[in-house]
């Protein structure tokens, strides 16, 4: 007795209702968990990002969901305007929680009535940061790759230069590909 696949009508020579390829496809589709949480809006998936916003995939333009919701419910967003979450929760994309603001209005909402930083203040702070960095004492370090001593003003430097950095990470990559794994003493 010859049976046929319930999906593609191909002949089946084994137990079950599907041929091997349809059965594999069915198992993959039904057992697959989404890689990360998502929401849909007008048939497009918006995936949760680490900053709490929902964004469409890159091949869909990477649009933020709250902007799509605004455009659907209220029409086009004026050029350069921001869509603000009134309650501060970037995951709450209900239209009642969204408002369109100019960049200056958005800045004052986010940072109080201070408004944007004046150029004179920005220049003064930049000069202070530069003076702090230049006045910082150099410390002596030992390169993790070659073992040579070197001086630096930075706090988290591990290598004396880019060549040692590259050599170290290439060696780590080869060790990981060979099954030893990163951080092994092998």
For the stretch 157-185, pLDDT in tens is 999 999 999 999 999 988 886 544 444 44
Does 88 share its domain with 21? no
Alpha carbon distance 93, 141 (integer Å): 50
DSSP 14: S
The C-alpha angle 90, 94, 99, rounded to 5 degrees, equals 75
In a domain, 51, yes or no: yes
The residue written with tokens 């333009």 in the block is 61
Task: For residues 27 and 42, state if they share a domain.
Answer: no
Q: What is the number of structural domains in the chain?
A: 3
Using pLDDT thresholds of 50, 70 and 90, give the confidence band for residue 3. Answer: confident
CA pseudo-torsion sign 132, 138, 143, 144: negative
Confirm if 144 and 152 have CB atoms less than 8 A apart.
no
Q: How far apart are CA 53 and CA 65, in angstroms?
A: 8
Residues 11 and 60 in one domain: no
End-to-end CA distance of the chain: 59
Residues 15 and 42 in one domain: no
Question: Based on the domain organization, do 50 and 78 belong to the same domain?
Answer: yes
Q: Is residue 186 part of a domain?
A: no
**Is residue 128 scored above 70 in pLDDT?**
yes
Domain of residue 165: give its range: 139-177
Distance CA 19, CA 65 (A): 40
**Share above pLDDT 70 across residues of the chain, in percent, rounded to a whole number:** 86
- Look up the pTM and report it: 0.46
pLDDT reported for residue 50? 84
Tokens standing for residue 31: 């057992």
In a domain, 125, yes or no: no
Q: Do 20 and 61 share a structural domain?
A: no
């Amino acid at each position: 007795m010859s049976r046929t696949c319930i999906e593609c009508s191909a002949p089946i020579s084994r137990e079950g209702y599907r041929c091997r390829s349809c059965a594999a496809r069915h198992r993959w589709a039904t057992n697959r968990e989404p890689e990360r949480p998502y929401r849909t809006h007008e048939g497009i998936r918006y995936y949760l990002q680490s900053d709490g916003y929902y964004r469409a995939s890159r091949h869909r333009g990477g649009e933020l969901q709250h902007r799509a919701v605004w455009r659907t419910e209220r029409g086009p967003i004026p050029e350069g305007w921001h869509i603000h979450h009134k309650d501060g929760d970037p995951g709450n994309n209900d239209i009642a929680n969204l408002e369109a603001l100019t960049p200056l209005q958005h800045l004052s909402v986010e940072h109080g009535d201070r408004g944007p930083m004046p150029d004179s203040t920005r220049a003064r702070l930049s000069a202070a940061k530069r003076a702090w960095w230049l006045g910082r004492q150099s410390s002596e370090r030992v390169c993790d790759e070659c073992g040579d001593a070197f001086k630096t003003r930075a706090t988290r430097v591990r290598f004396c230069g880019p060549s040692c950095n590259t050599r170290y990470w290439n060696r780590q990559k080869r060790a990981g590909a060979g099954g030893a794994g990163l951080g092994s003493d092998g």
